[in-house]
Amino acid sequence: MMKLLNHLKASDYKYLKLINDDWPYQFLSEYTRFNKHYSNSDYYIIKDEKLNAYMPVRLYEVRTFRFGQIEHAPVSAGIELKSDDQLDFFNRFIDFAKSTDLCTKLVQPPPSGILGAHPAGSQFCDFGSYLIDLGQSEEEILQRFHPKYQKAVAHSIKNHAEIRVGRETLDDFYELYVLTMNRAGLTPIDKSYFRLLCDYMGEARVKSAAIYEDGRPVGAVFIISSRYAAQCTHAGSTGDTKLYGSMKLLNYNMMKVMKSQGVNRYDFVGVRLKNSNPALEGIFRFKKGFGGDLKVGYLWKAVINPKTAGAFETLLKMRIGKKPMPDIIDQVKLDMQNQNNG
């Protein structure tokens, strides 16, 4: 049996009161409130009574169609389920979603929501993320960096790089983030998203940070955390600085900040595996250079109601509404087709 729980319902408190800062931030009540304010989406914690496990799911509407998005892998007592148990959870959740007409489709999770299994009939791609164990000493963390990264960190320190952490850096972060997204030909998220995350999650769980060369911001990161993990969800840089180690030093500094707050791991949030895109391969190498452990999993999506899903696709083909950009799963499929055709 599954329960659809919500932090905003007082009657569900008895089921959700066990969730605390040792769980991923996607399970916290503050994140539910943020989603309700930012996108007016319904944010639920699904409880599977068989496994005594929980999973966050966001539900939102496009015209008259309802879509679901899994935000994090299922967790029990603050620990992520093993892959076999995740598959068991997903299969029952899909049955539950179909029987309750919960949504038209389950769309791809965000890159921060790597899943440990994919159910039969779903569309999926391999995905991973590099994790730094913050239980190590600061010296041990740095020693695991690639030797070139260690030299880059030392170079930026020697050349008087300045790091600032706090909401006062949000404007500088956003400017560099937009610059980076424009270089990649991608659409940046509105600034209100980051402001509201700061408002709802608070400075203990959200960090904006930037690194400066002679007072000019040259790199920045945006981090969301609980004690479970700190996820570096967004970043940006000028690409025009003498501090060639600026982003290495900034990330190392944030690892130290998160460690001092009792956070267990630092998560670089997503790398595409088995990819042939040179730009994406550069991102993979950049994150790998910090010496973290590669967590391997999947992103997947699935049709829940074939009839309404077909109607939605028909509307897209008729150009009613704006067709969304391909998700990562579709991009991987296109890259593979282009590689085979080439």
Nearest Cα to Cα of residue 176 among 130, 222, 230: 222
Among 263, 280, 310, identify where a domain stops.
263
Please give the pLDDT value at position 274.
73
Q: Is 231 helix (H, G, I), strand (E, B) or coil?
A: strand
| Integer CA distances (angstroms), 279 to 172, 178, 238, 244, 284, in order | 24, 17, 16, 18, 9
**Residue pLDDT tens, the chain, 342 long:** 899 999 999 999 999 999 999 999 999 999 999 999 999 999 999 999 999 999 999 999 988 899 999 999 999 999 999 999 999 999 999 999 999 999 999 999 999 999 999 999 999 999 999 999 999 999 999 999 999 999 999 999 999 999 999 999 999 999 999 999 998 888 899 999 999 999 999 999 999 999 999 999 999 999 999 999 999 999 999 978 889 899 999 999 999 999 999 999 999 998 888 766 666 677 888 999 999 999 999 999 999 999 887 888 777 666 555 555 678 998 888 777 766 665
> Looking at the structure, do residues 210 and 120 belong to the same domain, yes or no?
no
Cβ partners under 8 Å of residue 19, min gap 6: 27, 28, 29, 45, 54
Please check whether residues 94 and 209 belong to one and the same domain. no
Cβ atoms within 10 Å of 232's Cβ, excluding its own:
25
Do the Cβ atoms of 189 and 143 come closer than 8 Å?
Answer: no
- Percentage helix, strand, coil, to 5, in the chain? 40, 25, 35
Give residue 108's domain range.
2-128+296-341
Claim to verify: residue 178 and residue 103 sit in the same structural domain: no
Question: What pLDDT, on the 0 to 100 scale, is given for residue 278?
Answer: 65
**Does 162 lie in the same domain as 123?**
no
259 and 146 in a single domain? The answer is: yes
- CA distances from residue 38 to 35, 41, 145 in whole angstroms, order as listed: 5, 8, 37
On whether both 195 and 255 belong to a single domain, the answer is: yes
Residue 145 sits at φ, ψ, to 5 deg, of -65, 150
Structural domain contains residue 329: yes
End position of a domain, from candidates 238, 263, 288 = 263
Nearest to 72 by CA among 60, 88, 90: 90
Q: Is residue 236 in some structural domain? A: yes
185 and 215 inside one domain: yes
- Say yes or no: 29 and 123 in one domain: yes
Cα dihedral 180, 184, 190, 193 in deg (nearest 10)? -70
193-222 b/e (C-beta count within 10 Å ≥ 16 → b): ebebbbbbbeeebbbbbbbbbeeebbbbbb
> Sign of dihedral through CA atoms 33, 36, 38, 41?
positive
74 domain-assigned: yes
CATH number at residue 142: 3.40.630.30
Rg, Å, the chain Cα set: 21
pLDDT digits (tens, 9 = 90+) for 176-186: 999 999 988 88
Indicate whether 270 belongs to any domain. no
Element at 91 (helix H, strand E): helix 83-99
Q: Are 64 and 174 contained in the same domain?
A: no
Q: Do residues 34 and 72 share a domain?
A: yes
User: Is there a single domain that holds both residue 56 and residue 80?
Assistant: yes
Within a domain: residue 269? no
User: Helices marked H in 145-277 — which ranges?
Assistant: 147-158, 170-183, 191-201, 246-260
Residue 281 belongs to a domain: no
Q: Is residue 276 included in any domain, yes or no?
A: no
What pLDDT shows up at residue 342?
Answer: 57
Amino acid at 247: M
Provide the β-strand partners of residue 236.
220
- Clarify whether residues 304 and 191 are in a common domain: no
Q: Which residues pair with 45 in a beta bridge?
A: 5, 56
Among 263, 281, 315, residue at a domain's last position = 263
**pLDDT value, residue 184:** 81
Domain count, the chain: 2
Q: How many CB atoms lie within 10 A of CB 139?
A: 7
Residue 116 lies in a domain: yes
Q: What is the pLDDT of residue 332?
A: 83
